[in-house]
Amino acid sequence: MTRAGVPIAISGVTKRYNTARGGEVHALAEIDLAIAPGEFLSIVGPSGCGKSTLLMLIAGLIPASSGNIAVGGSRVKGAVGNVAVVFQRDVLLDWRTVLANVLLPVEIKKLDPATHRRKARELLRSVGLADFEDKYPAELSGGMRQRVAICRALVQDPGLLLMDEPFGALDALTREQMNLDLQRMWLRDRNTVLFITHSIEEAVLLSDRVVVMSSRPGRIADVVANDLPRPRGAHTRSEPRFVEHVERIRRHFLALGVLSET
Amino acid sequence: MTTLAAATPSPLAAWIARNGPVLAIFAVIFALWEAAVRALNVPDYILPSPSVIVAKIVVSWQLLLVNAFVTFEEILLGFALSVLVAIPLAVAVVYSRIFERAAFPFMVSLQTIPKVALAPILVMWLGYGIMPKVMVAFLISFFPIVINAVIGMRSAEKEMIYLVQSMGASELTTFLKIRLPKALPSIFGGLKVGMGQAVVGATVGEFIAAERGLGYLQLISQVRLDTPLLFAAVVVLSLLGVLLFNAVAVIERIALPWSRLATDVAE
C-alpha cells in the first residue's frame, strides 16, 4: 500500500469551451501551479472561475486546450490511476449497499477484493458507519452519504484526492464535523488533497495553502500560505493568524466584486 | 389501541388492512348492480347481473380457458418481441449519434400513428393466424418500453459517469455498473405500461380477424346476443391483464429491492 501523496505540476494550462451557440468560453487562462506531495491545497473563488474545470483537467476527465499537467511525474492523458474524486453530490449508487458502494473502485480497478473489503470496513468504522454497511443509500442522511462517498474515494489509497465542494450541500454543523474528520484522515494518510470550496473559513482551516481565483477567464489572484499548527479545530478559528488569512482572502473577493459591502 | 394482534399483525390481517377499502368498494358496486338488475327486471341480454355472469363463467370455463390461452400466448409473444427489439434499440439510441438523431425522433413520430388502425393491414399481410395479433401487440407495447429505457439510460448524473471514468472504467463497465442499473426502475415502468398495451393489442387484433381467442369469443357472443358470455370474456380478459401486470411488478420488486426503498423515502 502506498501512502505517499503524489506531486502535481501544472504549467501554462488554458481551457476554452465551445458553447452550443457557436461561441467560445474562456474558462481558464494560463494557470501555473505546483502542488507538493502530501500537501493540502484549497482553491476558493467565485462561481464560474474555472476551479471545477481545473479539477476535471487534473483528473483527466476533460482535455486541456493547451499547457501541461503532470500528476506524480507523468503527464495526464485521460483518467489517472492513482487519483480519487469526490463531488458535491455524493453520487452513491442507489442499488448498492453502503459497503458495495465503497467497494466500487475496487471492482472497477480489479484490486484484491479480500484486503480491500477489510479496508472498506475499517474506513466505515472510522467515520462511525460500521453498523450501516448493509443499508442502502436511501436510508442514510446527507452527511452519512457524503462520508460513504469519501470512504469510496479513500479505499483505493489514492495518492491524490480531488474534492469538488464535497461539503457544500451539508448543514453547517455536519460540515464542521466533516472538516475535522477529513483532517484526521489526511493527517493519517498524508495523500495530496486538492480541495475546492466556497467557504473561506473551511479553506483556511484545512489547508497548507489557499489559492484564490478570479473569474472570466479563471486565473490565480493570490496564494495564501498557512502554517497554523495541526490538528486544527474550533480553537484555531479565533487565532489572530487564522483571522488574518480569512481577512486577506475576503479582501480579494471584495476587490473582485464577488462580495459587496454596500 | 395496543392489542397484541395490532402489535404483531399476521400477513392476512395486514393484507386485509391494505386492500380492504378497495375490496369494499367492489363489493358495494356489485351488490348495487345485482340489486338493480333484479329490482328492475333487466333482461340478461341487455345487462346480466354479477351472479349470472359468475354462473356463466362456471359453466363455460373450458371454452373461456381455451380461448384465454390463445390470447395469453399472443400477448406474451408480442410483449417478448417488444422487449427483445426495444432494449437493444434503446442502447443504440443512447450510444449512437445516428440512432439518436435519426431513429429516435422517427420512432417518436411513429408513435402518433394509431397502431390499432394498422391491424387490418397486418391481417391482410399476415393472414388469420396468431401472427397479426402478435404484431399488433408488439407495435403497441413497443414504444413505451423503448422510450422509458432511453430515458432511464440517460438518467445517470454526469458526476456519476465522471466518477467511474476517473477510476478508469471502460464504456462497457460504465454501462453495466451505472447506466443499466440506473435505468432499471424506468425500464420496469415501461414494461408495466407495455404489458397493459400488449393485452389491448392482442384483443384488438382478434376483433379484426380471428378464429380463436377472447376477443373472438366476444365477437361471437355479441352476434349471438349471448351477453353473459360477452361479460364473462371481459372478466377473464381483465383477470389476464391484472395477472400479467402483477407478474412484471413482482419481478421488479424482487429484482430491485432498493428501488421501492428510494421512492418510499422520497415520498
Q: What is the mean pLDDT of residues B226-231?
A: 94
Residue-wise pLDDT tens digits, A19-39: 878 788 888 888 999 999 999
CB contact under 8 A, A95 and B177: no
- B156–A contact, CB cutoff 8 A: no
CB contact under 8 A, A94 and B262: yes
CA distance, residue B156 to nearest chain A CA (Å): 9
* Cα A141–Cα A147–Cα A148 angle in degrees, nearest 5: 90
Beta strands in chain B (DSSP E): none
- A60–B contact, CB cutoff 8 A: yes
Residue B21 domain boundaries: 10-41
Residue-wise pLDDT tens digits, B57-113: 999 999 999 999 999 999 999 999 999 999 999 999 999 988 888 888 888 788 888
The per-residue pLDDT for A78 is: 80
Query: Binning pLDDT at 50, 70 and 90, where does residue A255 land?
Result: confident
* Cβ contact A42:A207 at 8 Å: yes
Residue A193 bridge partners (DSSP): A40, A161
Considering the domain architecture, whether residues B221 and B260 belong to the same structural domain is answered as yes
Look up cell 476527465; give the residue: A61
Query: Binning pLDDT at 50, 70 and 90, where does residue B19 land?
Result: confident
Query: B146: part of which helix (H) or strand (E)?
Result: helix B131-153
Q: In this structure, is residue B141 part of a structural domain?
A: yes
CB contact under 8 A, A109 and B164: no
Which residue of chain A has the CA closest to B169?
A108
Q: Where are the domains of chain A?
A: 1-82+174-262, 92-157
Q: In this structure, is residue B170 part of a structural domain?
A: yes
Q: What is the mean pLDDT of residues A220-228?
A: 92
Q: What is the mean pLDDT of residues A141-170?
A: 92
Q: How many domains does chain B have?
A: 2
Question: Is the confidence at residue B2, as pLDDT, over 50?
Answer: no
Residues 75-134 of B with CB under 8 A from A: none
The per-residue pLDDT for B209 is: 82
Question: Is the confidence at residue B15, as pLDDT, over 80?
Answer: yes
CB contact under 8 A, A61 and B162: yes
Among A134, A133, A108, CA closest to A121: A133
Residue-wise pLDDT tens digits, B99-133: 888 888 888 788 888 888 888 888 889 888 899 99
Considering the domain architecture, whether residues B36 and B151 belong to the same structural domain is answered as no
Q: Record the pTM.
A: 0.83
Pick the CATH number of A1-82+174-262 from 3.30.530.20, 3.90.700.10, 3.40.50.300, 3.30.565.10: 3.40.50.300
Q: In this structure, is residue B116 part of a structural domain?
A: yes
